[in-house]
């Protein structure tokens, strides 16, 4: 999978409560440990979902399912993700649990990262689509490493900004947070549509 394919998928993964949480944790009291725990939990969660989807895809292939069938599964997963994003587009207010992030501890941050990136509808569907895509195209599971690393890097950007810029980062991070909170569903829909186009090209090309 090329970087141009990975980037929109990674953006889908972090656009929404995921990036908002990363920003809140990056400005919390124990921000270093909280951010590291959040990113570590997210990494494990994404890798787990991608791996499970990949081997389920391989099992389907071994059982006689066609390459076309796996491509259709990927397409359906993406369509479900697109519908989920659209139905939740009006939820402009951050979830109530975000109020706990300023006083979060590493254990809470780890659990949050694991659940947000592994259970959140758009994330689990996107990760599953990546694993299914790789197995459906007879590509190695290691090809997912770029997707995982890029997603994790984007999640870590708020804490990297605080580390590099200090107090200056506190001036623009809230602005990014507010913009993402208002427009994340549009970003999600655009990049999901891009991956749908890539899947259709593989299916009918």
- Per-residue pLDDT tens digits for 88-144: 766 545 556 666 777 789 999 999 999 999 888 778 878 888 888 888 778 899 999
Residue 42 CA, distance from chain mean position: 9
Tracing tokens 């919390």 back to the chain, one arrives at: 28
Q: Give the C-alpha separation, 17 to 154, whole Å.
A: 13
Q: How many Å apart are CA 54 and CA 127, to the nearest integer?
A: 10
CB-based contact 61:70 (threshold 8 Å): yes
Query: Model-level pTM?
Result: 0.74
The least confident of 30-34, 63-67, 142-146 is 63-67
DSSP assigned state of 104:
-
For the chain, the domains span 3-204
Of 153, 149, 130, give the one whose Cα is nearest residue 140: 130
């Amino acid at each position: 999978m090329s970087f141009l394919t990975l980037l929109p998928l990674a953006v889908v993964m972090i656009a929404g409560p995921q990036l908002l949480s990363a920003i809140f944790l990056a400005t919390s009291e124990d921000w270093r440990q909280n951010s590291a725990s959040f990113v570590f939990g997210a990494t494990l969660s994404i890798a787990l979902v991608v791996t499970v989807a990949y081997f389920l895809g391989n099992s389907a292939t071994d059982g006689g399912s066609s390459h076309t069938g796996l491509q259709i599964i990927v397409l359906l997963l993406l369509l479900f993700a697109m519908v989920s994003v659209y139905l939740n587009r009006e939820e402009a207010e951050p979830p109530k649990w975000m109020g706990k992030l300023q006083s979060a501890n590493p254990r809470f941050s780890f659990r949050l990262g694991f659940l947000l990136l592994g259970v959140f509808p758009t994330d689990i569907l996107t990760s599953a689509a990546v694993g299914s895509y790789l197995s459906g195209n007879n590509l190695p599971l290691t090809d997912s490493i770029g997707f995982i690393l890029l997603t994790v890097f984007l999640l870590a950007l708020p804490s990297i900004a605080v580390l590099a810029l200090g107090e200056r980062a506190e001036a623009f991070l809230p602005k990014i947070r507010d913009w993402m909170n208002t427009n994340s569903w549009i970003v999600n829909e655009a990049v999901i549509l891009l991956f749908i186009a890539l899947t259709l090209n593989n299916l009918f090309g």
